[in-house]
Amino acid sequence: SFSLPVMDTAVTPSLDNPVRLNFNENAIGMSGTAKQAAIDAVPKANRYAKAEILLLSKRLAQYHNVSEEHILLTAGSSEGIRSAIAAHINPNTQLVIPELTYGDGEHFAKTFNLKITKVPSLKDWQIDINGLRKAVENHQGFSIVYLVNPNNPTSTVIGYKEVESWITSKPKNTLFIIDEAYAEFVNDPVFRSVDSLIFQGYSNIILLKTFSKIHAMAGLRVGYVVSSPDNIKNIGQYVAGEKLNYCGVCAALASIDDNQFLTYSKKATDVSRNIMEKVLSELGLHYLKSETNFIFHKSPIELGQYRELMKKNFILIGRDSNPATNWCRISLGTPGEMLYVANVLYGLREKSLI
């Protein structure tokens, strides 16, 4: 019964205005009220957003059922990843990650000269929790486990039973950084946020969140960390002062209470995913069950060639996802954009180019 106006919007991409499916952005754009709040904040932005930052922390605490002392605002979750790692470097620290995941954990850990332990995936790039556990157990020293759930670039989820049984077993010298950037898109009930464990008092978890995805605010740079008050105090020393940009903070405050927009953002993504899954199935291209605003599929030809071919048709698709050679990550655009993409893919198949 939900109406999707964008369904009727035919898109006419061009070289200068391509369909951008390469960065997992949210193509529908920000909530109208958030946009207005950002505009209204511009004349105030000669000041720091002190009062609004407090309001946003309060609102986010309420949202996650924790106290304000459990929340730290960050400039996107990227700053969250970097500061969470920076705050937990002990002697002999290793970063443990699945071999195929979002690159920022590894990237920042390298800047701190941490040992990186990558754990091979199971079939179809499924994350091997037992393998990760073993990597922690085999290490003499401190382990930071960076888990992206749902994962990027695979778009798949790890069930809460696996995640929670590991975390609640409180393995010694182990800290879990759980990046739930895409959680609001998930349909599969095996997923559950770890925020409830933080509420229960587990202090071995750092939850990272962002307004870049479901809220469509990637360019406004608002994210936050949820963790125990002690962890928050510690991580707080490593962020650039929690002085977020005024427009972003005001937009976030408006967006978090715009339920109509959030429902729309999710539904539009579901419709776009349905379009893409139908095309991939009909073309016989293997894909993983998507729980986010992107989908991971076997490239029909060598990935670089596929990317070029799509670019000629004004569609930008994802980069290499090592070590998944010739697998392609396509972000989900608006339903209108995905209908365009579908037509392009069918056309390329007709010409036997893919």
Q: Which stretch binds ligand PLP (CB under 6 A): 44-52, 73-81, 296-304, 316-324?
A: 73-81
How near is the Cβ of 209 to ligand PLP at its closest, in Å? 8
22 vs 174 by CB, closer to ligand PLP: 22
How near is the Cβ of 354 to ligand PLP at its closest, in Å? 26
Sorted by sequence, the CB contacts under 8 Å of residue 221 that are 6+ apart come out as 75, 76, 212, 244, 245, 248
Q: Does 269 bind ligand PLP (CB under 6 A)?
A: no
176/127 Cα distance (integer angstroms): 15
Q: What SS3 state is found at 174? A: strand
262/216 Cα distance (integer angstroms): 10
How near is the Cβ of 185 to ligand PLP at its closest, in Å? 12
How near is the Cβ of 187 to ligand PLP at its closest, in Å? 18
Amino acid at 308: E
Q: Does 108 bind ligand PLP (CB under 6 A)?
A: no
CB-count burial class (<10 Å; 0-12, 13-18, 19+) for 345: buried
Q: Does 148 bind ligand PLP (CB under 6 A)?
A: yes
How near is the Cβ of 218 to ligand PLP at its closest, in Å? 5
- CB-based closest residue to ligand PLP: 76
How near is the Cβ of 86 to ligand PLP at its closest, in Å? 15
CB-count burial class (<10 Å; 0-12, 13-18, 19+) for 51: exposed
How many amino acids of this chain bind ligand PLP (CB under 6 A)? 14
243/316 Cα distance (integer angstroms): 34
Q: Which stretch binds ligand PLP (CB under 6 A): 42-50, 70-78, 226-234, 322-330?
A: 70-78
Sorted by sequence, the CB contacts under 8 Å of residue 8 that are 6+ apart come out as 336
Among 179, 195, 291, 337, binds ligand PLP (CB under 6 A): 179
Is 28:335 a contact under the CB 8 Å cutoff? Answer: no
Residues near ligand PLP (CB under 6 A): 24, 76-78, 102, 104, 148, 152, 179, 181, 210, 212, 218, 223
